[in-house]
A and B are shown apart, each in its own frame.
Chain A
């Protein structure tokens, strides 16, 4: 007799072989909150919850595939993906289409793509590979090489202008360089230099970027323009109070005072309805996610995988911190979605690529050790 139960069990075990359950459960918890909040944010208009659930499904299938690729295979992708991203970014610079004053999209005839999104993964991948390769003979000049690999795409994205994405890509690269062991002396020197160069940077900024920073310092200067977002989202959070107004009861949300409420400003919706209690829960879940990611990085078996895992994990942190910071009015509005919460398929795919890579690194570590 054929062992049906055994076959199914083997099949099932093989299927979930590379799934890291702590990571999966944490992201599922955050996504459940996200779905409920998308529902609340879009209940008065075009309902987006089902569509977002679909996005999640697709993204998780991608995660599953990626988790099954061994880190060595991932390493093979580093250079081609980075070069592809770079070529596309140059393409955007030369032939990009302008939407809302920013040149971010590359038309491909049938569709258009946003190459800066690729760089969010390609950048840490490339630099992790780079430091892995030179790990044994690491010299100061290698850090310069890494800085160059980081700077070119960063500048191209910042030039579009897309400050939010440039920041995320730049941060991902910096994390790899830092974790790879950039000497403290240089770090201190760079921080000091950056402080000195701040006025210079101010001069290089676009008017709208300066305006964002000015309205951050005092949003009331432009209550109907750039400051409106911050004022309204701050009111939403503040009026939520310790326990919130209750699910679907946020007045700021449902009276249309919060702009982009199912995408970049979804945190305002959540915070208004669930209050400080809800915020604490969400911060806790993000802390768990980052903690799990760091555990994976720490336990990783090769320099490549530990650097990549560290950078991806810190990338999640950066997303979450910048988004919640901007919505609550302590950081400038730079257009960064809240991970696993904000509506949008592209961002979810990128995020789950990251989760998939983390799972791959973790579930393949023993094989390498052998």
Chain B
């Protein structure tokens, strides 16, 4: 328009545009006003009703958790009611001051504060968090008198889990603890989050975790009218909770207690199974822990101590520890040989005390050898050379195939933990296994020489005590394998109606009766005239057994001396047994870590278990190490 630019020349345009936005603003506000008019005048009745409905709150009522009892009704886990002092952080003016002044009224220990802090970090703001648990009646009264001073603090009656037998069977029972994010994910994946409103504890390990959804029960609801302060003023409707189911176990608490005592401060595991059902009679992992520590939330000090203790009390050795089976492997090797036609019972070898393979000499424990050895003698006197030769004749893949059918190298599927991830598979060596296990090609190849020591339960062999017990039970039960389980009945808490956990046959190995009989005769011989004879002297029943000693470290040609070797490096002692031999009611496997010879420390524990279970005989004293058994055991 003009050459000379006037800074104000654009002003009219600016003002026009500003006017345009002003009109837009008015239109937008008119739309908002229209919306408000619609909601607050035209739809007011509808929304007023909705707001009224909002005055009704649903308060979840947490069900009683199911009780766990042993096969005879001895209570292993129960609930008790106690008062807790709880703080809702969002309703307090200042949390620290509240706790400080609270401490003047009621005893609040530094550990209570610590636990509160930890729970506070995990919790949402509107949840109430316990500062003190298990208030005495006097404390409740004292607080009630001064309640007005503490907004956001209240006394609540809550149910607590209690494990009356403390340390006993804790690895089987497991424990409960406060729900964490990970637990929440599990609950959500199981689509049960609605049922967990109001619940703050969940099974963390063992039966408590495996049967969580049986034990928990169904959450009830109370519909209450709440006043303007959010307090319940009137109950409108109450849907009572349904208590969780009780669990009746196959486990015998007394047997469990005797066994745990027998271990004393020795590390190890014992699994006793009823062969005809797979029901677990005792499941010991020593040392144990007190599950009661976890209920209120374990202190970090205790947690650290449990986890860093060299004896690892939190590990369930019965299902999670993998050990070489040693000579307890031999009866299964013999059975494999019979079933596969690699040996007849009477076929004898001549044992010079060693077996040469390539450049390597595999030595027998007995210097000079056992002379002429048939199958019976090979088991009774635990002859190594017999099994070196047998393993070499059978080959690794035949051994692996048969042992796999007995359950070795597989998870037993016992009803512990959330899924079977808590259970160890162990190692069932085979050519395929080695290929998977190692990365370098030269390590992936299976060497025939490696098969030899597999025959005596050494080498790559590593199995869990429950696998060993299960295999023993399969032999005792003529080849029919049941899934091991701890729960016999799931009991409805209200009606008392029992739901039997049916024994679940996994497979039938179709063993030939005459072959099973050969093994049985030999295992009975072990306890009559062989390596277990001393431990089973004078038993009032016929027990089949086998001792075992598993090397913890390689001796490299040096001679093993039990007393001169450091305790941690001493061999593991093992024993498997079932009894009565002609009609087995119980099959078991014992492992004593660094226990030395099987006959010396594992067999006496087995004897004690069988004595109690079959005869009701209580042990006179603890099953101390029988050091005089060493001489009787040198043949092993």
B228–A135 touching, CB < 8 Å: no
Name the one of A175, A179, A181, A234 contacting B47, with C-beta atoms under 8 angstroms. A234
Chain A window 156-181, contacts with chain B (Cβ cutoff 8 Å), 1 for yes, 0 for no: 00000000000000000001001101
A328–B36 touching, CB < 8 Å: yes
With A241-B48, A317-B25 known as contacts, the answer to whether A283 contacts B17 (CB < 8 A) is: no
CA distance A271 to B93 in the complex (A): 27
A255–B228 touching, CB < 8 Å: yes
B22–A238 touching, CB < 8 Å: no
CA distance A303 to B14 in the complex (A): 9
Q: Is B37 positioned at the interface, with any CB of A under 8 Å from its CB?
A: yes
A294–B51 touching, CB < 8 Å: no
A239–B50 touching, CB < 8 Å: yes
Chain B residues closer than 8 Å to A317, beta-carbon distance: 25, 28
Chain A residues closer than 8 Å to B33, beta-carbon distance: 279-280, 283
B13–A238 touching, CB < 8 Å: no
A235–B7 touching, CB < 8 Å: no
A257–B44 touching, CB < 8 Å: no
With A294-B22, A303-B7 known as contacts, the answer to whether A251 contacts B51 (CB < 8 A) is: yes
CA distance A306 to B14 in the complex (A): 8
Chain B residues closer than 8 Å to A64, beta-carbon distance: none
Chain A window 227-255, contacts with chain B (Cβ cutoff 8 Å), 1 for yes, 0 for no: 00000101111111110000001011011
Q: Is A57 positioned at the interface, with any CB of B under 8 Å from its CB?
A: no
The smallest beta-carbon distance between A47 and chain B, in angstroms, is 8
The smallest beta-carbon distance between B522 and chain A, in angstroms, is 67
The residue on A at minimum CB distance from B50 is A235
A239–B44 touching, CB < 8 Å: yes
CA distance A136 to B90 in the complex (A): 59
CA distance A280 to B229 in the complex (A): 29
| CB contact list, B1-35 vs A, under 8 A | 5, 7, 10-11, 13-15, 17-18, 21-22, 25-26, 28-29, 31-33, 35
The residue on B at minimum CB distance from A280 is B33
Chain B window 81-94, contacts with chain A (Cβ cutoff 8 Å), 1 for yes, 0 for no: 00000000011010
Chain A window 280-291, contacts with chain B (Cβ cutoff 8 Å), 1 for yes, 0 for no: 100100110011
Q: Is A337 positioned at the interface, with any CB of B under 8 Å from its CB?
A: no
CA distance A234 to B32 in the complex (A): 13
Q: Is B148 positioned at the interface, with any CB of A under 8 Å from its CB?
A: no
A241–B28 touching, CB < 8 Å: no
The smallest beta-carbon distance between B233 and chain A, in angstroms, is 12
The residue on B at minimum CB distance from A316 is B25
The smallest beta-carbon distance between A237 and chain B, in angstroms, is 5
| CB contact list, B36-84 vs A, under 8 A | 36-37, 39-41, 43-44, 46-48, 50-51, 54-55, 57
Q: Is B298 positioned at the interface, with any CB of A under 8 Å from its CB?
A: no
CA distance A241 to B22 in the complex (A): 29
The residue on B at minimum CB distance from A234 is B39
With A241-B44, A251-B228 known as contacts, the answer to whether A181 contacts B55 (CB < 8 A) is: no
The smallest beta-carbon distance between B19 and chain A, in angstroms, is 8
Number of A-B contacts (CB under 8 A): 133
Chain A residues closer than 8 Å to B91, beta-carbon distance: 44-45
| CB contact list, A33-66 vs B, under 8 A | 44-47
A310–B13 touching, CB < 8 Å: no
Chain B residues closer than 8 Å to A235, beta-carbon distance: 47, 50-51, 54
Chain A residues closer than 8 Å to B35, beta-carbon distance: 325, 328-330
Q: Is B230 positioned at the interface, with any CB of A under 8 Å from its CB?
A: yes
B51–A239 touching, CB < 8 Å: yes
Q: Is A89 positioned at the interface, with any CB of B under 8 Å from its CB?
A: no
Q: Is A276 positioned at the interface, with any CB of B under 8 Å from its CB?
A: yes
| CB contact list, A291-348 vs B, under 8 A | 291, 294, 297-298, 302-303, 306-307, 310, 314, 317, 321, 324-325, 328-330
The smallest beta-carbon distance between A119 and chain B, in angstroms, is 21
B54–A252 touching, CB < 8 Å: yes
Name the one of B5, B29, B40, B229 contacting A240, with C-beta atoms under 8 angstroms. B40
The smallest beta-carbon distance between A136 and chain B, in angstroms, is 5
With A44-B230, A252-B51, A310-B18 known as contacts, the answer to whether A290 contacts B25 (CB < 8 A) is: yes
Q: Is A222 positioned at the interface, with any CB of B under 8 Å from its CB?
A: no
CA distance A240 to B126 in the complex (A): 26
| CB contact list, B220-267 vs A, under 8 A | 226, 228-230
B54–A255 touching, CB < 8 Å: yes
Chain B residues closer than 8 Å to A45, beta-carbon distance: 90-91
A283–B90 touching, CB < 8 Å: no
The residue on B at minimum CB distance from A237 is B39
B54–A257 touching, CB < 8 Å: yes
Chain B residues closer than 8 Å to A232, beta-carbon distance: 54
The residue on B at minimum CB distance from A182 is B17
B48–A239 touching, CB < 8 Å: yes
CA distance A329 to B43 in the complex (A): 14
The smallest beta-carbon distance between B447 and chain A, in angstroms, is 53
With A181-B13, A255-B230, A297-B18 known as contacts, the answer to whether A238 contacts B50 (CB < 8 A) is: yes
| CB contact list, B493-525 vs A, under 8 A | none
B46–A238 touching, CB < 8 Å: yes
A136–B15 touching, CB < 8 Å: no
A residues whose Cβ falls under 8 Å from a Cβ of B: 44-47, 135-136, 175, 178-179, 181, 232, 234-242, 249, 251-252, 254-257, 271, 275-276, 279-280, 283, 286-287, 290-291, 294, 297-298, 302-303, 306-307, 310, 314, 317, 321, 324-325, 328-330
B residues whose Cβ falls under 8 Å from a Cβ of A: 5, 7, 10-11, 13-15, 17-18, 21-22, 25-26, 28-29, 31-33, 35-37, 39-41, 43-44, 46-48, 50-51, 54-55, 57, 90-91, 93, 126, 226, 228-230
CB-CB nearest 7 A-B residue pairs: A238-B47, A239-B51, A238-B39, A276-B40, A239-B47, A241-B44, A235-B50
The contact sample of 5 A-B pairs, CB cut-off 8 A, is A237-B47, A255-B57, A276-B36, A298-B14, A325-B35
Known contacts A136-B5, A325-B35; 17 further A-B pairs (Cβ under 8 A): A44-B91, A45-B90, A179-B21, A181-B10, A238-B43, A238-B48, A241-B40, A241-B44, A242-B40, A249-B228, A255-B226, A271-B40, A298-B15, A306-B11, A310-B18, A325-B32, A328-B39
